[in-house]
Amino acid sequence: MSETIRLTTGQAVVRFLAAQFSERDGAEQRLIPGMWGIFGHGNVAGVGQALLQAAHTGEADLPYYLARNEQAMVHTSAAFAKMRDRLATFACTASTGPGSTNMITGAALATTNRLPVLLLPSDMFATRYPDPVLQQLEDTRGGDVTVNDAFRPVSKYFDRITRPEQLIPAALAAMRVLTDPAETGAVTLCLPQDVQAEAFDWPVEFFRHRVWHVPRPAPEPAAVARAAEVLRTAHRPLVVAGGGAVYSGAGNELAALADATGVPVADTHAGKGALPADHPCAVGGIGSTGTAAANALAADADVVLGIGTRYSDFTTASHTVFGNPEVTFVNLNVARLDAVKHSAVAVTADAREGLRALLAELDGWRVDDSYRDRAGQLAAEWRRVTEECYSRGHGPLPAQTEVIGAVSEAAGERGVVINAAGSMPGDLQMLWRARDPKAYNVEYAYSCMGYEVAAGVGTKMAAADREVFVLVGDGSYLMLSSELVTMISEGIKVVIVLVQNHGFASIGSLSEELGSQRFGTAYRYRSGESGLLDGEALPVDLAANAASLGATVLRAGSVAELRDALAEARANTTTTVVHVDADLFGPGPPGSGWWDVPVAEVSELTSTSKAYENYAANKQNQRHYL
């Protein structure tokens, strides 16, 4: 008989997680360096007791962090994982019922973005003795259904630990999925509250130091040969660099490919900075909110080399950005799901390994000088447009692009920018110059309002030596700004730039474009006359709100004031909110991409009928890549 140790399931979870490490390229780090949580019945005396005991006895090193909202703590963990190239993340414990289901949006965000997070929702009694307990949803269809089943479709691994010993295979499976670059996402282990407190004799080997080697799958030589053969025929190739290029740490290889071949490189949100913006081959963001440079090259490209991209609709401009009828795709991706998209010649492999193999196979191949020069000119022209957007002198309120210009200046060489939803992701995709692969943490897969402030916490924890700039719209701030308090209590310093435009600049302009006249997109009083939400401005003061939560707050009414405030915020040692007013109506950067959002086919409104004509015309350009 092997040696055993008697612990509760909660204590075993804590001890196990503290012993897990990830390794890639010889560098080992804690896979789960801590646990976020909010206690309630379900986890307070189970996992909660275990964390307390660990802190007291030192038997396991798993710091506990108290979040203010369960959704937010999952965002914090996802942002941390993103910053750590998916080699580390946090665990999140929540109480039964609402505490747990609050994490579902966070789980969906993590899985959509292919970011690892470990969720430990508490669950109903395994014995079912006292049912129905507070916060239990009774299901007439089956006794084993709980609200936590709603995690299943948003989790890459889901399990419910109804007996202590089930934790052993479940915990090992959870670590496998978290550290699998092709499979990773939210991993959910539901912990019934009685099981958390139940004792069991665990084999001590379960708690040994365990290293999860994060694989770099090598490409099949035949696939590399097929890919190189297609690329060698290309006259107007274009690289689309996605998140996979960043997470794999393929920056040097991507630069080597660009240097050796002169191929222009466009990027997605997740891929921004994989090739630094100042590289001669960088042409910026592609797609619906892409630069004119990247989109013009995409329109003609005969071969597209997608590296680590999922080809979301924003990347493909809803299947319209690649306009060449003969366009062929070559995809390098660790996930076969993405590698085969658009009927591509697929290389299923780690981005760095795949690029190395491709580089060798492409020896001697270069794009024509004329094509390289054209790409260079387009990129230079876009740099000029960017400068214009950064310094428009718009008034009386600043344009958001000027706010972004000032933040970009303040961010300097090492600043990290965070954003997720609203009109800013599009502006950033067009205008932000990411100087390195970790400079840009914009979550634009789930584009979840409320990510920003919470992500500031995780990003700063992952990269304490970098200044973190959270750009957040008033709508997003109103939805989820609670982690400001967490920043204060944990002494986590970030600069939050709160862009106040009293509503949805993004959906407002989209609504207008689609013939819906900005209906319901401004934060205003309901008007007695119209009966609509188009009355007077509201007496909302989000700067006062942030100050009330303990942040240092600076107000800026102009770009000049914003610059000064950002300099002061940088110099501060505690979280500082810079509140800046901006024009709800733009102007934004010049767009060149379409986004498919269906318009009413029949309507009583002229604005809608006009928009429908436009929609139907754009629809003509949409195609499958077969």
Ligand X SMILES: Cc1ncc(C[n+]2csc(CCOP(=O)(O)OP(=O)(O)O)c2C)c(N)n1
Instruction: List residues binding ligand X (CB under 6 A).
Output: 421-424, 447-450, 473-476, 501, 504-507
Give me the phi and psi of 578, to 5 degrees please. -100, 115
Q: How far apart are CA 92 and CA 103, in angstroms?
A: 9
Instruction: Report the residue number, 422 or 437, with the smaller CB distance to ligand X.
Output: 422
For the bound state, the minimum distance from the C-beta of residue 72 to ligand X, rounded and expressed in Å, comes to: 12
Q: Which amino acid is at 612?
A: Y
Instruction: Report the residue number, 308 or 473, with the smaller CB distance to Mg ion.
Output: 473
607 DSSP 8-state letter: H
Instruction: Report the residue number, 261 or 501, with the smaller CB distance to Mg ion.
Output: 501
CA 255 to mean position of chain CA atoms: 24
Residue span 457-496 as binding mask against Mg ion, x where in contact by CB under 5 A, dash where not: ----------------xxx---------------------
For the bound state, the minimum distance from the C-beta of residue 444 to ligand X, rounded and expressed in Å, comes to: 10
Instruction: Report the residue number, 405 or 473, with the smaller CB distance to Mg ion.
Output: 473
Cα–Cα distance list, 607 to 513, 539, 601 (Å)? 9, 31, 12
Q: Which amino acid is at 350?
A: D
Instruction: Check the CA dihedral 273-278-280-282 and report its sign.
Output: positive
Q: How far apart are CA 119 and CA 212, in angstroms?
A: 19
For the bound state, the minimum distance from the C-beta of residue 310 to ligand X, rounded and expressed in Å, comes to: 18
For the bound state, the minimum distance from the C-beta of residue 153 to ligand X, rounded and expressed in Å, comes to: 17
Interaction partner, residue 399 (ligand X, Mg ion, none; CB < 5-8 Å by kind): none
For the bound state, the minimum distance from the C-beta of residue 112 to ligand X, rounded and expressed in Å, comes to: 12
Instruction: Report the residue number, 350 or 474, with the smaller CB distance to ligand X.
Output: 474
Helix (H, G, I), strand (E, B) or coil at 120: strand
For the bound state, the minimum distance from the C-beta of residue 452 to ligand X, rounded and expressed in Å, comes to: 9
306 in Cβ contact with 330 (< 8 Å): yes
Interaction partner, residue 322 (Mg ion, ligand X, none; CB < 5-8 Å by kind): none
Could you write out the DSSP letters of every residue in 472-516?
EEHHHHHHS-THHHHHHHHT---EEEEEE-SB-HHHHHHHHHTTS
Instruction: Report the residue number, 255 or 499, with the smaller CB distance to Mg ion.
Output: 499
Instruction: Check the CA dihedral 13-14-15-17 and report its sign.
Output: positive
Interaction partner, residue 386 (Mg ion, ligand X, none; CB < 5-8 Å by kind): none
Q: Which residue has the tokens 């080992």?
A: 28
133 DSSP 8-state letter: P
Instruction: Report the residue number, 199 or 525, with the smaller CB distance to ligand X.
Output: 525
592 in Cβ contact with 287 (< 8 Å): no
Q: How far apart are CA 472 and CA 270, in angstroms?
A: 18
Could you write out the DSSP letters of every residue in 388-457?
HHHT----SSPPHHHHHHHHHHHHTTT-EEEE-SSSHHHHHHHH----STTSEEE--SS--TTHHHHHHH
Q: Order across the sheet with 27-30: list the strands.
A: 27-30, 20-24, 210-213
Q: How far apart are CA 479 and CA 228, in angstroms?
A: 48
Instruction: Report the residue number, 440 or 504, with the smaller CB distance to ligand X.
Output: 504
Instruction: Report the residue number, 501 or 608, with the smaller CB distance to Mg ion.
Output: 501
Instruction: Report the residue number, 164 or 473, with the smaller CB distance to ligand X.
Output: 473
For the bound state, the minimum distance from the C-beta of residue 432 to ligand X, rounded and expressed in Å, comes to: 15
496 in Cβ contact with 578 (< 8 Å): yes
Does residue 501 touch Mg ion according to CB under 5 A? yes
For the bound state, the minimum distance from the C-beta of residue 290 to Mg ion, rounded and expressed in Å, comes to: 23
Cβ density class 383-419: b for 16+ within 10 Å, e for less: bebbeebbebebeebbbbbbbbbbbbebbeeebbbbb
For the bound state, the minimum distance from the C-beta of residue 525 to ligand X, rounded and expressed in Å, comes to: 17
Could you write out the DSSP letters of every residue in 226-283?
HHHHHHHT-SSEEEEE-HHHHHTT-HHHHHHHHHHH---EEE-TTTTTSS-TTSTTEE
Instruction: Report the residue number, 8 or 401, with the smaller CB distance to ligand X.
Output: 401
Interaction partner, residue 423 (Mg ion, ligand X, none; CB < 5-8 Å by kind): ligand X
483 in Cβ contact with 104 (< 8 Å): no
Reported as type and span, the H/E element at residue 23 is: strand 20-24
CA–CA–CA angle 311, 74, 461 (5° rounding): 95
For the bound state, the minimum distance from the C-beta of residue 358 to Mg ion, rounded and expressed in Å, comes to: 43
578 DSSP 8-state letter: E
Q: Which residue has the tokens 């800046």?
A: 580
For the bound state, the minimum distance from the C-beta of residue 426 to ligand X, rounded and expressed in Å, comes to: 9
For the bound state, the minimum distance from the C-beta of residue 86 to Mg ion, rounded and expressed in Å, comes to: 31
For the bound state, the minimum distance from the C-beta of residue 503 to ligand X, rounded and expressed in Å, comes to: 6
For the bound state, the minimum distance from the C-beta of residue 380 to ligand X, rounded and expressed in Å, comes to: 29
Interaction partner, residue 506 (ligand X, Mg ion, none; CB < 5-8 Å by kind): ligand X
Instruction: Report the residue number, 31 or 74, with the smaller CB distance to ligand X.
Output: 74
User: Which residue's Cβ has the minimum distance to Mg ion?
Assistant: 473
- Binding residues for Mg ion restricted to 259-278, rule: CB under 5 A: none
Instruction: Report the residue number, 456 or 473, with the smaller CB distance to ligand X.
Output: 473
Instruction: Report the residue number, 61 or 512, with the smaller CB distance to Mg ion.
Output: 512
Query: Residue 556's closest CA among 546, 567, 548, 564?
Result: 564
Q: Which residues bind Mg ion (CB under 5 A)?
A: 473-475, 501
